[in-house]
Structure 1
Amino acid sequence: MPFKLKLKKTRQYNVASKTLFVISVELLDGGIADCTLSADSTGQECLDNVCQRQGINQPEFFGLRYLNRNQQSRWVQLERPLKRQLDKCASSHQLHLRVMYYVISGTSLITDEVTRYHYFLQLKSDLIEGRMVCDCQQAVVLASYSWQAEYGNNHDRERHTVEYLKNLLKFPKQMIDGGQIVEDSTLAESGRLEWLTAAVIQHHMALHNMSQAKAEEGYISACQLLRGYGQEMFVARDQIKQQEVTIAVSVTGIMVILETSDTPHFYRWMDITNVINHKRTFTIECQNPVDSASFVLPTPEDGKYVWRIGASNALVTPLALRVFMGGGDHLFSHGSPALLPLKYFI
């Protein structure tokens, strides 16, 4: 008598689909790009996906930011799985495409047109939001370049009057006028808004027939002269003096700004032998020990983050390349930061 086998009915399903998730990335032009990734996808995969779809051929200038649970903006660690970082640290899965590494002399390193356009948009945001500081004359020049970069020779003298443009042109949140800080909210009542707008109209006439690409380059070069350009800032306390300071990290080095002094102290990467993080403490060790200093951040997470940002910025310099590859003393003490793209020696 033959055996009757009772086979259990099963339903097929795609196991892989359960590991996928969707990330929304805000672009520099205000648009949104949705990326479908796996749970193991790294931040770099997400960045490459977004840049490829936007036609950005130099993604090495960019990074991805998120808001942590304290509503502080933080950089994604591109070499690590993205979902784990966001689940652990972020307030949501919303990301923002932003410029992470700034060029400091001209625009020759930015060879891709779309990359340059997004770089221009980043600087425009930095200026308007007050991350860079300029005086009124610089604001006029930058607004003129911005107008030409975005609209070209579309300048109708009869239509583009002061009254028409004064609420369309974007000026920085803060400007310096005669040594005093001027808030954009007071421009209209003080009469400065009309003066600035008229000055932009006059200056823009001199840019007639300038290509939009050249205007973007002019805007970038003008921004490179401003205070705050390319810097990421953190509030800390000097461990010895017990004074509140601002630590500004960039590809050129670390600037320490004291509230009680008009003269900041600047540490160039070539003068730094070691950067150490221990809990809340961030220490800069210099070739001249007298110049070394330690600073206390609000939390251990802040201390680690400042160290990581310093490490990533230093690694785009030629000196850091030599040090990291064994040509000198080790520059960083905390862990092993990922080796970043180093073909752009800034």
Structure 2
Amino acid sequence: MMKTVVSKTGVEVIYPCSVHLLANGEILECEYKSDNVGRDLIDYICDQLNIQEKDIWGLRFVDTFEQRHWLDLNKLIRPQVKNVCPIHFHFRMKVYPPEPYKLLDLETKFQIFMQLKLDLMSGRLCCGPSDSSLFVALILQYTYGDFDPERHSGNYIKEKIIMNQSFAGEMKAIDLHKHHLRSLNPTQIMDLFLRMACQLETYGVDPHLVENLSHQKFNLWINYKGMVTYVEGKKSQHIDWMNINKIQQEDNKLMVHLCSGGTETFFSLTKPECNYIYQSAVDHLIYFTTSGTQSTVGHIGNDSMEELHKDLKVFEKLENSGNVASESTKRQERSKYGVSRISKFHSPLCQFYVTALMVFAIGVAIELYIAFGYNSLKHYIMKIHRKLIEKYFWNKLSKIF
């Protein structure tokens, strides 16, 4: 129920709303006034959660017709939700950054981690059996810490973690948690989780069913890569954000004007659904093309990354030595990296470099274990051992085997 208060400027009307957060189903009770825009509310929520990176978040709500909407941050809140009662917003990631593990703001990384956990459980983030077992194992390590035989007996996975969760997958995840993730702290777990998730094909994808001028139905994917169309499960068109001049909406028609001069037209089933797609597409276009929109606060700068590669010289491509079991690596043909040697540390960021190297090496070790088994992995580790200079890093790495 709205309430009125008397202030120095007169009588003001205050409207209550509930915001469903990502962490453990928490709800934040908020209020807004008649003159508040969406940006006021999202800024307040981010401040309450100590989130520095505010541009990637949004508030989603559902109207009386079960149609999803994004709250327009540049417009007044009240007209957008006037037919919604009670008002429930869902705090969700609207724009997925391409490399979330590079964020330095831990609270932002935590919220992205929670969003991706939700995506895995709902099936929005899809992966194969090998990857799904590793995702579940990482979540177990994050939730319970190191495996404890007194506390973790039998199948101790009591809740749904991932779509199409199977008993065999749970047993494999428990084995990974028991033998190969010991001593990893929550921050390292989040880094590994985010690094894996952002390389999946469906990372950050919000699929929409649309039609073309010939009334042919197909799926329109929107994420950091651009706007991608899939016809009968096959990729048919990819429009990069940098190739888009502007996006317009007319009723249920979405028009994408290209820098080359052409126009791609998509038709949605309804006007509200088209508006939902339009909001998402425009926010992505602004974020990935407007200068200064992607804040450098909280990101690893290019200079720091170049310095990391230059000083450590540890990221070299592994030789292609056979079939790899990970479905995502087969599907995307992504490169794998290993440890070659460690040079002396002269950079003032040496502690960060060591941590980054350890997290990456552990991720490679786990993927190699899944792909080739223990004996092949042991041979590879011994080969690395002969090349390492610093015994400190080897001692840390050997603890997981």
Q: Is TM > 0.5 for Structure 1 vs Structure 2?
A: yes
Which residue, 217, 225, 228 being the options, matches 1:255?
228
Q: Give the match for residue 286 of structure 2.
A: 315
Q: Note if 1:20 corresponds to 2:10.
A: no
Q: Aligned ranges for residues 72-221 of structure 1 at < 5 Å? A: 72-88=67-83, 90=84, 92-108=86-102, 110-153=103-146, 155-165=147-157, 167-168=158-159, 170-173=160-163, 183-184=164-165, 187=166, 193=167, 195-204=168-177, 205-221=179-195
Deviation readout 1:139-182 (Å, 9 max, x if unpaired): 011111112223332x21243234333x33x3422xxxxxxxxx
- The answer to whether the 8 Å contact 1:102/1:230 transfers is yes
Q: 1:301 to 1:198 in 2, by over 3 A?
A: closer
Q: 1:249 to 1:91 in 2, by over 3 A?
A: farther
Q: Give the match for residue 250 of structure 2.
A: 278
**Structure 2 SS opposite 1:28:** coil
Q: Give the match for residue 54 of structure 1.
A: 49
Deviation readout 1:2-55 (Å, 9 max, x if unpaired): xxxxxxxxxxx8265641111111111111111122111111111121222222
Per the TM alignment, residue 92 of structure 1 is displaced from its structure 2 partner at its CA by 3.6
Task: Give structure 2 stretches of 5+ with no counterpart.
Answer: 300-401
Identity of aligned residues (%): 19
Q: Give the match for residue 228 of structure 1.
A: 202
- The answer to whether the 8 Å contact 2:229/2:235 transfers is no
1:243 and 1:139 map into 2 onto residues whose CA distance is 34
Q: 1:224 to 1:264 in 2, by over 3 A?
A: farther
Aligned pair count reads 290
1:135 and 1:127 map into 2 onto residues whose CA distance is 11
Q: Give the match for residue 371 of structure 2.
A: none
- By relative contact order (CA 8 Å, sep 6+), the higher-ranking structure is 2
Deviation readout 1:186-223 (Å, 9 max, x if unpaired): x3xxxxx1x21221122123121111011011111111
Per the TM alignment, residue 243 of structure 1 is displaced from its structure 2 partner at its CA by 1.8
Runs of 4+ in 1 over 4 A off after TM superposition: 15-18, 287-290
- TM-score normalised to the size of structure 2? 0.66
- The answer to whether the 8 Å contact 2:141/2:181 transfers is yes
- The answer to whether the 8 Å contact 2:36/2:77 transfers is yes
**Structure 1 SS opposite 2:183:** coil
- The answer to whether the 8 Å contact 1:62/1:97 transfers is yes
1:112 and 1:151 map into 2 onto residues whose CA distance is 23
Per the TM alignment, residue 71 of structure 1 is displaced from its structure 2 partner at its CA by 1.2
Amino acid at match of 2:216: Q
Q: Note if 1:306 corresponds to 2:301.
A: no
Q: Aligned Cα RMSD in Å? A: 2.4
Per the TM alignment, residue 128 of structure 1 is displaced from its structure 2 partner at its CA by 0.6
1:275 and 1:79 map into 2 onto residues whose CA distance is 17
- The answer to whether the 8 Å contact 1:67/1:73 transfers is yes
Q: Give the match for residue 238 of structure 2.
A: 266
Q: 1:123 to 1:20 in 2, by over 3 A?
A: same
Q: 1:311 to 1:344 in 2, by over 3 A?
A: farther
Per the TM alignment, residue 91 of structure 1 is displaced from its structure 2 partner at its CA by 5.5
**Structure 1 SS opposite 2:58:** strand
Q: Give the match for residue 325 of structure 1.
A: none
Amino acid at match of 1:81: L
- TM-score normalised to the size of structure 1? 0.76
